[in-house]
Amino acid sequence: MKKAIGSFLLLCGTGILWLPPAIAEPQRSTRNLVENPGFEVLDSATGLPEGWRTITPRQEVAPAFVVDSSVSHSGRSSARSAAKGTAGTIGFWVTTVRGIQAGAEAGDFGMSELTVRETDFLSSRSYRIACFFKVREVESPARNIWIRVNWLNGKGQEVFTEFLSRFVREGEWYRAEQVLTAPRAARSLNLELVLQWTATGTVWWDDVSVEEVSTLASRQIKVGTVYDLPSEHSTPEKNRGFYAGKIAEAGKLGVDLLCLGEGITLVSTGKKYQDVAESVPGPTSHILGEAARKSKLYVVAGIYEREGPLIYNTALLIDREGNVAGKYRKTHLPETEVNGGLTPGSTYPVFRTDFGIVGIEICYDNFFPEVARSLALQGAEIILLPIWGDLRGQEYAWDIVARARAIDNAVYLVASIYSNRRSLIINPNGRILADTGGSHGLVTAEIDLNARTFERWLSVGSYGEWKNLFPKERRGETYKGLVKSPDE
């Protein structure tokens, strides 16, 4: 992928969705598979909307379910769920949507593997699932309002569960909408519109739709990382030229995104932080930017940034045109840096590129799991890690911790390290795709940012996908102790 073709950004209740135009706008079908999508046709016997039913685990925590003719997004009515005073409220409207993969060859699910690859699990049929909802006295739509999709096989057995977790505010209503790809075994789905864990909240649902659309394309790029050091007694100027050469080498290999190390103007020079500190833009961003422009790739590289009297340990993101597209200032400083006069950063920005969203952490940041989680919750799909070293456990801990960060957050992690010569590229399942393995040089890996992995024994009874489940199921409101200072 060498050409930027524009982008689509959706701000949502749990993060950011970035999609290139071909993915963001699949061709829409004109046929809505949902029966009675506006809750307007009622069953004379039950009083419920035809095609819909209500479910609760226990009646004592059930909300009140009502078809409300006084509120609607369009049409004449909506489906209302209202808590009745218990904080344990949970209940949902559910409809079974048939006609999924109509005409596909029938067959049992029959898969017992713990982990299933996308190519073995997913079909070639995708569906845009959408609805509108309006809330009152709901503390957190992300926590109290869930939209759950249970894909069912031909026998009505659940084979995969996932959530619609992306929604935007449109006036008094929220619009939830995502394109989901059906599992091969799916012949129908249950769509559950959930109200939960609120004593006073009310939600109205309307305009529910499931429409077949074109399948999401892959987002394949090539990433690279380096283990290499300039010779001893080098200078910042020589180091810039040295690492510009690595960028040129990566360009010849077709790399889209290259990770260089921490403090590239300091390593091998014997100098102090203040001796090599520079402004941004500055000499390093200029020289690396020119190399990136010639090779048409993105580069992340660590420098020491001066802003007035302050010096930061900073990583630059340089784009394909050679411009500084973003920077991150290291937030967690070891005492050697504190005593060296560095100032910590205080934010965790993520950056949109022409292929997806990236985040950056630097060295000691990786010792603190909250950093990677903060980036992932903002939509980071790849985390770049320039790191001087991790010698814990006689270097035993290095790849274990790096792999854990990737697994926990369902992200790719690309790290460039000096200490043990093992710069790594790791996929969201924690597998090491490339490893410099103690040797000088540059390694690469082809990755697909739309690739998916499905596993049993997550939180759901069938197969689930961690990157879809954890943003919805984490309990951020219970983690307040994590942000307290030691003296509080």
List, by residue number, the catalytic residues.
262, 330, 363
Angle at 33 between CA 218 and CA 104, to 5 degrees: 60
Cα separation of 419 and 262, whole Å? Answer: 11
Token pair 């903060």 in the structure block, residue: 374
Angle at 30 between CA 27 and CA 33, to 5 degrees: 110
Cα separation of 23 and 30, whole Å? Answer: 18
Residue 121, phi then psi, degrees to nearest 5: -105, -40
CB 387 within 8 A of CB 422: no
Q: In what order do the strands lie in the sheet with 53-55?
A: 53-55, 90-98, 188-196, 145-152, 158-164, 463-464, 453-456, 115-117
Cα separation of 355 and 30, whole Å? Answer: 30
Cα separation of 208 and 210, whole Å? Answer: 7
Q: How far is CA 226 from CA 34, 175, 341, 415, 421, in A?
A: 51, 44, 28, 8, 9
Helix or strand run (H / E) with residue 276: helix 273-276
CB 285 within 8 A of CB 291: no
CB 376 within 8 A of CB 14: no
Token pair 């209503």 in the structure block, residue: 173
